[in-house]
Structure formats: structure tokens, C-alpha cells
A and B are shown apart, each in its own frame.
Chain A
Amino acid sequence: MAYFLQQLINGLTLGSIYGLIAIGYTMVYGIIGMINFAHGEIYMIGAFISIIAFLVLGLAGITYVPLALAIVLLITMLFTSIYGWAVERIAYRPLRGSFRLAPLISAIGMSIFLQNYVQIFQGARGKPMPPVVQGGFTVFESGGFAVRLSYLQLFIMLLTLALMIGFTTLIAVTPLGRAQRACEQDMRMAALLGVDVDRVISLTFVMGAALAAVAGLMVTLYYGVVDFFIGFLAGVKAFTAAVLGGVGSLPGAMLGGILIGLIEAFWSGYFSVEYKDVSVFVVLILVLVFCPTGLLGRPEVEKV
């Protein structure tokens, strides 16, 4: 029981991170119908920027942890969003209306490019990060096994919750959110009614990148080491989460992320650590084959 609870906590933490990345996939897919294959790389860049920001703050002498966290969070979101914006502007916007696989191939090229760009300029070695948020408390104890919830895990879950609430409000209430939902339903009609579609799509990428940046910061804190290759697996897993929750649905992405996190945590807790990545891929294939609309998605009608 205690072991189960511990895996539950670990899975929820991991799932929060995947969910934040998955939102980027699901929003982009909802609005322009393409898989932003480079999104995992954006998350990786977020992780690198957060490490660099921590180092710079350390040199500047800011050591009060909450302040440092807040500043790093803002810096990381800001710079990573610029990457998200630039990727859309360079690699996807010229391809709107091209044949179906073109944006996907372009996205794969972008992903390879970004990976190697970071590898060349920051080195191929893993970047260690000393723990910033330390400590925790014991939730529950039985049979000599203590279930620990660290402050960091709590921080990750609470921050995810806060972002989700803020983000849902943004989409539901603000003019930008309304324009975005309009574009999602019918881009041409939205354009005719005076919505600046290009701007909305750009902002969608910016928002997705900002959330991925937060996920990058979280993973930096959580695992304490970052390398240029982390984006690939995390990207595939977050994409699986988006598909599982139903592509195009925001709550679906979060739900899918948490489910994937739980599956991964329980799989490595009860079966084998070596095959934990296989479990995610198997879930992806099963969902796509048997239930392609996901848990909360709408069925898609193919028009001629």
C-alpha cells in the first residue's frame, strides 16, 4: 500500500510535467492540424535556459530560493517562447496549405536542427544541476516504508494546477482565447470575421512553448541533470499523452499526461525499469488503433 502510494505520487509529478508539454501538442494540432514534432526540443531548450538562468543568478548573488525560482521561471518562459515563435515563423508558416506531410517533415528537420544546435553550443555531456528545493515530509508510514512527498513534488503539482487554471481561464474568457477557439473551428470563417489568424497561430505556439518551458524547468529541478537528447523521448511521451486524452482537447491533454505519468511510474515500480519506455509506446499504438479520438476528443470527419 505504501509502495503504491509512493508510486502514485511519483507518477502524478511526472504526469504533471508530461501534461504541460502535451498541451503544446494538442493546441497546435487543434488549430492547424499538424504534429509539432519539434515541441520536445522546445522543452529541452527550456530546460537548458533554466539551468543557464540559475547559473547566472547564482553569479549575480541571488540565493533566496523563492525569488530565484520566480525569476528563472519568467526568464525561461520568455526566451523559450521566442524559440516557439521563431520555429513557427521559419518552418511552418510558409508551408500552410502545402501537401499534408510537408509540415511534419519540416518539423522533423527543425527537431534535428535544434538538437544539434544545442549539442554544438552547449556540449554533448549531461549538465548537472545541484538541488535547489530540498526537503519534504512523510505523508504516511506503514511497515517501515515511509511515503515521502518532497516539497519539490508539491511545488511541481501546485504550479501545474495553477497554470492549468490560469490557462483554461485564458482560453475561456479572454478575447485571445475566443479568437483561438474560433480559428480552431473554422480558420477561414474566423479570418473573414476579422480575426488575425497568423497572429493567433503565432500566439498558440508561444503559449505552448511557454508551458513547455515550465516543464523544462521542472524536469531540471526534479532530475538534476539535463542533456540535449531529453526532448525526443519526452516529446513522444507527451504526444502520446495528447493522443490518449484526445487531440485538440486541453483537459484531455492534462488527463492524458497524468495517465502516462502514472502508467510509467507503476510500470517501472511493478514490472521492469528497462521496458518503461516500451509501455508508453504500446499505449500509443493501442490508443491510435482502437480509439483514435482519445478519451475526451471529438471524432474527426474526413472531408473530400
Chain B
Amino acid sequence: MTAAAGLAVDSAAKPPAFWVPFLKDAVLAALVAVLLALPLVGLQTYDIGGGALGIRTHFDWVAIGGAAVFAGRLALRVLQQLYRTRPTGRARVLTSIAAWGNRQALPITLLGIGFAVALPFLPFSSRYLIDLGTTVLIYVMLGWGLNVVVGLAGLLDLGYVAFYAVGAYTFGLLARDLDFTFWEALPFSGLVAASFGVVLGFPVLRLRGDYLAIVTLGFGEIIRIVLLNWAPVTGGPNGIGGIPRPSFFGLHFARSAPEGVATFHQFFGLEFSPDHRVIFLYFVILAMALLTNAFTLRIRQLPIGRAWEALREDEVACRALGINPTTVKLSAFAIGAMFGGFAGCFFATRQGFISPESFTFIESATILAIVVLGGMGSQLGVVLAAVLLVSLPEFGRAFAEFRMLIFGAAMVGVMVWRPRGLIAHREPTLRLGSSR
């Protein structure tokens, strides 16, 4: 009611009837919401045994939903009215935060890296926390890899998980059949994934943006179906197990090593602890992710990186200026795929077991959500989104259940509200002269 009073004062010149359209609008929205919810929320099907279904009614949920939509819509309209009368918009606040983040990029980055390095040694850290950190970092690395493709080059890739899978399976197969270790297989994983990127990209990169998205989605599914059905090589749905863990310069993380091989704790004269391996894995992925980031930041300064960004902004102009769009896109695609492959290799060694189930479309969508929510092209945004997305389900079962629901809604919301991403402050890396 305070908002209502403030509103009345602000727009005293208007006739008092200006409330009516707001109310009408909110009532309509609530009505639509009730109609939407009536069949799917209000009538819930459940098994009653014997392959038959029964129906439970939940009209109270429908009523709650309708009331919530009514209140939300009304609040939205009132807020819109308020912001129209006052010059400072909500978007300006976020933009200034993003701009501040841009100016303070170095301190923020250093602080973040410092925290990430210190995390395993902080007093409150636990094995669980480090494990969670490792998962977050895998997604950060995947997000940064996909950011090259989506954020910099502006190519929407819905099948990124295919390259992740290729990297993981490359290591899995090399380890199973040729006894490769993690460090020996790592370059091959990246290489094979990049080659897949080139092979896929070469024919399809001439397509327009949205066609490309669907084709990459199809490619991701093809890879998954082949992994699932080519049982003699990939193990089919059973996957590949017994993938070796990484070693620290030849030192193994085990209580006792086979003859002639040193273990980590013996070499350094430490008490054996299974946490050593977990912490080591954490640092490996941290280093890999930071390398990805450093590589991306550097390549943005090179002609190829600038060509990516130019191509994203205007393809026709680029062609007119003599940039070959296919080659430039292909390089972005291959480099993105390579990072996906590296991350896949790490995933395989961390899990020790891989199966096609880990590489579904939902995974691609999650990685894309990280890039989109963080702000396409923003490195820091990817980190924030990854932390949020991965740690949200850890706060309880309710969150885990609603995680994808929330992120679907958030993707729509971000696109509607700030299409460039939450904290994106997208300036071209290079600018001719001064802008003003």
C-alpha cells in the first residue's frame, strides 16, 4: 500500500482511473495462469498399479499460482510505472556494476584466483567442498571453452557436449587399449576433439546462425547414440571403467604402489591421506581452467580473435573487408572443441568411469546456460554462473529438483531483460581512436 500511495502522489496529474488498466491486466494474467495450470498442475496423474493411472486434484496449487501471478504482474506494472517517473532505471544499476567490474578487473581476478588457490587449505574446507570446487571448475573450463565459440565468434553451439564426450572417450580408449596415462593422453584428447570440430564445422559453418545451432545439436546426439550403440569399442551403455588416475610427475596417489613406483606420500614423507588425490585433482583442473582463460584473453588481442568478434557483429561487413568467414569460424569452433576435449579428458580421469549418460543434451544446455547467464563473452560472468548453477542443488533436495526449472526460466528472463547477459559489459576489444 505504500507503493500505491507513492504512486498516487507521483502522478497526481493523471485521472484516478489509471489503476484500472493495471488491475485488469493483472486479472487477465492470473486468468491465463489458472487456465495454463488447470490441466497440468491441477490434475496430477499417478500410478495406481497394473499399468493404470489415477488422478489427484491439486486445485489449491492452481489457486496459489494464480494469486502469485496476479500479485507479480501487478507489482511489475507498478514498478514499471515508478521507473518511468524516475530516471534511474534498473538496467543502469547492473550496467554500472558491470562497468565497475570491468575497471576493477585485475583486483577481482587476483582475488578470485587467490581464493581458488587457497581453498583447499582454508580451515573450513573439507573433502566435500573440494570435490564441489572441482566440479565447478570443470564447468568453468567448459564455459570458457564454449565462450570462445558462442561469446566471441557468435556461433550458437548446442552440441558442445559432443566434444567433451570425444575428449573423455579418447582418454578412456587410449587408457584401456594402449595403457596411456592421463598426462600422455591429454594432448591427444584435445587434438581429437579439435579434429572432430573441424570435420563437423567444415561443411556446416556456412549455415546461418540458427541452422547451425540445430545441426550442432544433431551432431551431439549422433555422437551420443554412436557411443551408446557401438558396444564392441565404446562399451555401449556400460561405458568404460577403470580409467587411471593422474600422477604427480610419476608419483602415484595410493596407499601402496606397485614395485618400483613411488607414491606421493612416501616421496614427500607425509602421512597417507586419500585427500591428497582430491586436492591434486582440484589443482589440475584449476590450472587447466586458468590456462584456458589466459589463452582466450591473449587470443582476443590477436588478429584471429579480433576477426571472431568482428564476425559476430557483422558478417557481411567482414566478408567485404576480406575476412574469410569459414576459416575464421572454423578456427573458433576447433579451439572451443579442443578445450572441451581437455575438460573431457579430465572428467574421465576424475570419475574413473565414463558412459554415454554423462553426455546428454541437458549437459550441453547447462553449459550454454552458464555462458548465456554469465554474459556472452564475459569471462568473469562464466565463473559466477558456474558457481551458482553447480552449487545450487547442493543446498537441498528442493533446489536440486527445481534447478533446471529455475535455469530454464532464468535463460528466458535474462534474454528478455538483458539479452547480452547479466553482467556483460561488452565493449569491442579494439577500438579505433577515442570513442567520443
Contacts and interface: CB of A to CB of B under 8 A. Distances in A.
Interface in A198-249: 232, 236, 239, 243
A101 B156 contact: yes
22 contacts: A35-B210, A35-B214, A52-B40, A52-B45, A82-B32, A91-B412, A91-B415, A95-B416, A98-B415, A104-B209, A104-B210, A105-B368, A109-B407, A114-B408, A116-B402, A127-B45, A274-B225, A275-B229, A281-B221, A284-B214, A289-B204, A302-B316
Interface in B1-49: 32, 35-36, 38-41, 43-47
A123 interface: yes
B226 interface: yes
Interface string A27-65: 000000011000000000100110111011001000000
B45 A108 contact: no
A99 interface: yes
Interface of B: 32, 35-36, 38-41, 43-47, 51-55, 154, 156, 158, 203-204, 206-207, 209-211, 213-215, 217-219, 221-222, 225-226, 228-229, 316, 361-362, 365, 368-369, 372, 401-402, 404-405, 407-413, 415-416, 419
B411 A285 contact: no
A288 B435 CA distance: 41
A171 B47 CA distance: 43
Contact of A285 (B203, B206, B415): B203
A52 B415 contact: no
A121 B54 CA distance: 14
Given A85-B32, A105-B156, A106-B412, 15 more contacts: A48-B39, A52-B40, A52-B45, A91-B416, A100-B209, A112-B365, A113-B408, A114-B408, A116-B402, A120-B402, A123-B45, A278-B222, A281-B222, A288-B214, A289-B206
Interface residues of A, number: 66
Given A35-B210, A95-B415, A111 B408 contact: yes
Contacts of A285: 203-204, 215, 218-219
Given A109-B409, A288-B215, A52 B416 contact: no
Contact of A102 (B40, B45, B415): B415
A226 to B, nearest CB: 10
Contacts of B412: 90-91, 106, 109-110, 113
Nearest to B373: A109
A120 B211 contact: no
B415 A289 contact: no
